[in-house]
Amino acid sequence: MKKLIKNGIIVTAADTYTGDMLIESGVIAQIGLQIDAQDAEVIDASGCYVFPGGIDPHTHLDMPFGGTVTADDFESGTIAAAYGGTTTVIDFCLTTKGQPLQQAVDTWHAKSQDKAVIDYSFHLMVSELSDRVLGELPQIIEDEGITSLKVFMAYKNTFQADDGTLYKTLQTAKQEGALVMVHAENGDVIEYLVEQALAAGNTDPIYHALTRPPELEGEATGRAAYLTELTDSQLYVVHVTCAEAAWKIAEARKKGLRVYGETCPQYLVLDVEALAKPDFEGAKYVWSPPLREQWNQDVLWDALWNGSLQTIGSDQCSFDFKGQKELGRGDFSKIPNGGPTIEDRFSILYSEGVQKGRISLNKFVDIISTSSAKLFGLFPQKGTLAVGSDADIVIFDPAVTRTLSAATHHMKVDYNAFEGMEITGEPVSVLSRGEFVIRDRAFVGSAGAGQYLHRKRFAAEASPLPARKEISGGVS
Ligand code: URP
Ligand code: ZN
Ligand code: ZN
Ligand code: ZN
């Protein structure tokens, strides 16, 4: 049945205006003033924003890590995402050395296809670039529509690839029209610092942060940017946490390089002090790269506002405190890295960003949805509200105030990293391709309704660098 969203304040990355929106066959059929459709179900959105559904470009659902598996899988994770206003996730398909790429991708299809309640796609991790992998990659990019390749510069002895592999991946991405994503930390030096800390008897969670200093994130970010320059390729730096890395990205963009960056809600609102909480509670806040000194938050907000960072990913990677984070009691290096963030990403950016005057409403939409759609080959099917686009829509009440808590969240994990945080605004109803997934704050979707998205190849013209004068200030 057709649906007609009436009297909402429609917001895209470019415009804000009051109007009606007609949805037919899963797509936006018409946008205008006073649309009259007799045969449509009317949804009153008075007083609410109508946003394009959030796109989360960075999730780890049902992912093995450090001898355990994330608490949220594609079902609980995408339900929580939908409650939070996200209608598309792009998850990282892991590979192991020697494994055929198609086998790795099939494993991720098996994890997701009967479970996801919203649309989803995959990035592909590159752990080695042997002749075999080089031979397989073009086919995977073409057949699966996986047009982004992830290289870990950290996690020595598990996920880390060497610089030669990163270089070859950038070269291949240039040829094939893919975007290379990096986890930018110097894994070799970190391994040494971790060994030294443990040998000195420093085993508490805070040493996770102290052994991964911001200089090692800045160094790896700069190194990846130089290799991008050398290969004339394109690079997306995931989970940027600190000034050292944000400045490297700004510098690269100033040179005209196709270098893009993402930060995450946790780095915008939490800081390193959390890791020092007593009774091992600091383990709840163990991410890699780690939370930083608080002043970095201003640098990250500035970088989002001035465009040197373009997106916000949740880096959803949830582990229960009991039984999972606890694996690292007595040895911080055994704490599974990551946290539950998929549900609150959208509202934290709205509340802390728009509500507190750090970013505009249109910039919010750009960061939460549009930029990711453009960078990852989904625009304009996703990432905007336009005739012909998928009807992935969030009806958002900006007046509600609420408190984030594990007692009320929908992630399948026993704590909330933002416990007790007061925020303003809430997704009331969420539609995926025209069907309600969340209706009046209740889940009405179904497992398996989410569709796998084959993505287009990277197109620099979709995410142009700003004119020189706009970026001359860099980040402050
Ligand atoms: O701590 C984190 N970020 N865990 C997830 C894996 C990764 O590095 O993205
Ligand atoms: Zn497939
Ligand atoms: Zn990472
Ligand atoms: Zn991640």
Q: What does the H/E/C string look like for the chain?
A: CCEEEEEEEEECCCCEEEEEEEEECCEEEEEECCCCCCCCEEEECCCCEEEECEEEEEECCCCEECCEECCCCHHHHHHHHHHCCEEEEEEEECCCCCCCHHHHHHHHHHHHCCCCCCEEEEEEECCCCCHHHHHHHHHHHHHHCCCEEEEECCCCCCCCCCHHHHHHHHHHHHHHCCEEEEECCCHHHHHHHHHHHHHCCCCCCHHHHHCCCHHHHHHHHHHHHHHHHHHCCEEEECCCCCHHHHHHHHHHHHCCCEEEEEECHHHHHCCHHHHHCCCCHHHHHCCCCCCCCCCHHHHHHHHHHHCCCCEECCCECCCCCCCCHHHHCCCHHHCCCCECCCCCHHHHHHHHHHHCCCCCHHHHHHHHHHHHHHHCCCCCCCCCCCCCCECCEEEEEEEEEEECCCCCCCCCCCCCCCCCCEEEEEEEEEEECCEEEEECCEECCCCCCCCECCCCCCCHHHCCCCCHHHHCCCCC
Mean pLDDT (whole number) for 403-412: 98
How does residue 328 score in pLDDT terms, banded at 50, 70 and 90?
A: very high
- Residue 287 Cβ inside 6 Å of ligand 1? The answer reads yes
Ligand nearest the Cα of residue 113 is 2
Instruction: Ligand 1 pocket test: pick from 160, 288, 413 the residue with the most ligand atoms within 8 Å of its Cβ.
Output: 288
- Residue 317 Cβ inside 6 Å of ligand 1? The answer reads yes
- Residue 288 Cβ inside 6 Å of ligand 1? The answer reads yes
- Residue 411 falls within a domain, yes or no? no
| Beta-ladder partners of 4 | 22, 42
pTM greater than 0.95: yes
The parent domain of residue 315 ranges over 53-380
The answer to whether 72 and 387 have CB atoms below 8 angstroms apart is: no
pLDDT, residue 470, reads 53
Crossing angle (nearest 10°) for helices 214-231 and 243-254: 20
- Residue 105 falls within a domain, yes or no? yes
The terminus-to-terminus CA distance of the chain in angstroms comes to: 51
Residue 474 pLDDT exceeds 70: no
- Residue 36 falls within a domain, yes or no? no
- Residue 315 Cβ inside 6 Å of ligand 1? The answer reads yes
For ligand 1, the distance from its centroid to the CA atom of residue 289, given in whole angstroms, is 8
Residue nearest to atom 5 of ligand 1 (CA): 338
Share above pLDDT 90 across residues of the chain, in percent, rounded to a whole number: 97
Residue 99 pLDDT exceeds 70: yes
For ligand 2, the distance from its centroid to the CA atom of residue 434, given in whole angstroms, is 24
- Residue 150 Cβ inside 6 Å of ligand 1? The answer reads no
Residue 469 pLDDT exceeds 80: no
Residue 476 pLDDT exceeds 60: no
- Residue 466 falls within a domain, yes or no? no
- Residue 400 falls within a domain, yes or no? no
For ligand 2, the distance from its centroid to the CA atom of residue 452, given in whole angstroms, is 8
| Tokens describing residue 21 | 């929106």
**CATH assignment of the domain containing 320:** 3.20.20.140
- Residue 475 falls within a domain, yes or no? no
Residue nearest to atom 7 of ligand 1 (CA): 288
Residue nearest to atom 2 of ligand 1 (CA): 338
**Rounded to an integer, what distance in angstroms lies between the CA atom of residue 26 and that of residue 450?**
13
Ligand nearest the Cα of residue 317 is 1
Which tens digits make up the pLDDT trace of 42-77? 999 999 999 999 999 999 999 999 899 999 999 999
- Residue 267 Cβ inside 6 Å of ligand 1? The answer reads no
| Tokens describing residue 174 | 């240039």
- State how many domains the chain has: 1
The answer to whether 73 and 110 have CB atoms below 8 angstroms apart is: no
| Beta-ladder partners of 427 | 396
How does residue 475 score in pLDDT terms, banded at 50, 70 and 90?
A: very low
Residue nearest to atom 8 of ligand 1 (CA): 288
How does residue 468 score in pLDDT terms, banded at 50, 70 and 90?
A: low
For ligand 3, the distance from its centroid to the CA atom of residue 465, given in whole angstroms, is 25
**Rounded to an integer, what distance in angstroms lies between the CA atom of residue 305 and that of residue 39?**
42
Which tens digits make up the pLDDT trace of 10-24? 999 999 999 999 999
- Residue 371 falls within a domain, yes or no? yes
Residue 222 pLDDT exceeds 50: yes
Instruction: Ligand 1 pocket test: pick from 151, 190, 287 the residue with the most ligand atoms within 8 Å of its Cβ.
Output: 287
Q: What is the dihedral of CA 312, 52, 72, 120, to 10 degrees?
A: -100
For ligand 3, the distance from its centroid to the CA atom of residue 288, given in whole angstroms, is 6
Q: What is the mean pLDDT of the chain?
A: 97
The answer to whether 237 and 182 have CB atoms below 8 angstroms apart is: yes
pLDDT, residue 466, reads 76
Distances (CA, A) of 337 to 41, 58, 264: 45, 15, 14
Mean pLDDT (whole number) for 119-145: 96
- Residue 7 falls within a domain, yes or no? no
Instruction: Ligand 1 pocket test: pick from 182, 286, 312, 315 the residue with the most ligand atoms within 8 Å of its Cβ.
Output: 315
Residue 194 pLDDT exceeds 70: yes
